Amino acid sequence: MRSKLFVPGSRPELFAKALASDADALSFDLEDAVHASRKAEARLVLADFLRSPAAASSDKTIIVRVNPVASPHFAADLDAVVQARVDLINLPKPGSPQEIRSAIVAIEAIEATRGLQARARILVNIESPLALRIAQPLASAHPRVAGLQLGLGDLFEPLAILRTDVAAVHSAMFATRMAAGEAGVFAYDAAYADIADRDGFRAEARRARDLGFLGKSCIHPSQIAIANEVFCPTEAEIAHALKVVVAVEAAQVRGVGAHVVDGKMIDGPFIARAQAIVAEARRLGLTA
């Protein structure tokens, strides 16, 4: 899920275009992108789309960002979007781990009523000082939590923190990544509002990748190719990872633990990372 394209739930004319894009995932938004007066309409058109053959046959990860649990729209959002084709339900503005668990109870009740076998996992937004402070408990709230998604706009703007402050961005990224790592879930990077600033988007994506984020949110199709490129293993990374995997097999035959590949000491954490790179490269068709 190198790239995730936000799609307003009230813009059905964009749904087919999004499916045809190169984004790995689509995040249909019922929250910020939809005016309160159009929430009900957006739910209806999105529910129809999620039941369509086009959605069913797509190999993209399908995500829906619903309205906050405490909002008057939450129950109706769930009723519309808890369907077999939804892979992740994105919960914005969480206030506590209990809030995450109560949302999952509501989701499970709908799944049981509809006899759904495929169970959507949960993507939790980190977009407030509170959520950043309790990010690890949020990530560990329930086994169905799959990841944490950073939301820098909501986090920074109310506090007058400049988005161009690289140190502030890095700090929020690092805290989110550590919380996700402790909980054993993925971390996903924020959207970048300045669509014309392709260099800024690329630089922020690279910082996220260097911190082990899974991918980056895109608010415009022009950002997709950059995200896909940045979060794709490089030729050098793949070549080194393949060497490590081969060396590990040889070392196991000799009964050797830590060993050296290309002048670098290799042991358990490095082996796991190399295996992950090789698996991702194979998934993307970059190596046999």
Chain centroid, CA 41 distance in Å? 26
Helix (H, G, I), strand (E, B) or coil at 268: helix
pLDDT at 270: 72
Distance separating alpha carbons of residues 74 and 77, to the nearest angstrom: 5
Query: Residue 117: pLDDT above 90?
Result: no
Contact 231, 216 (CB under 8 A): yes
Give yes or no for residue 222 having a pLDDT over 60.
yes
The yes-or-no verdict on residue 215 having pLDDT over 90 is: yes
pLDDT digits (tens, 9 = 90+) for 35-49: 999 999 999 999 999
Q: What is the pTM of this model?
A: 0.88
pLDDT tens for each residue of 133-178? 999 999 999 999 999 999 999 999 999 999 899 999 999 999 999 9
Amino acid at 84: A
Percent of residues, the chain, with pLDDT higher than 70: 92
Please give the Cα distance from 80 to 40 (Å, whole number).
10
How many angstroms separate the most distant Cα atoms in the chain? 68
pLDDT digits over 224-278, tens only? 999 999 998 877 777 677 777 776 666 665 655 556 666 676 667 777 777 778 7
pLDDT digits (tens, 9 = 90+) for 5-45: 999 999 999 999 999 999 999 999 999 999 999 999 999 99
Element (H, E) at 29: strand 25-29
How much is the pLDDT for 262? 67
What is the spatial distance between Cα 63 and Cα 76, in angstroms, rounded to a whole number?
Answer: 17
pLDDT digits (tens, 9 = 90+) for 197-213: 999 999 999 999 999 99
pLDDT at 180 over 70: yes
Tokens of 175: 């805290």
Which pLDDT score, from 0 to 100, does residue 53 have? 95
Average pLDDT of the chain is 91
Question: Residue 244: what pLDDT?
Answer: 72
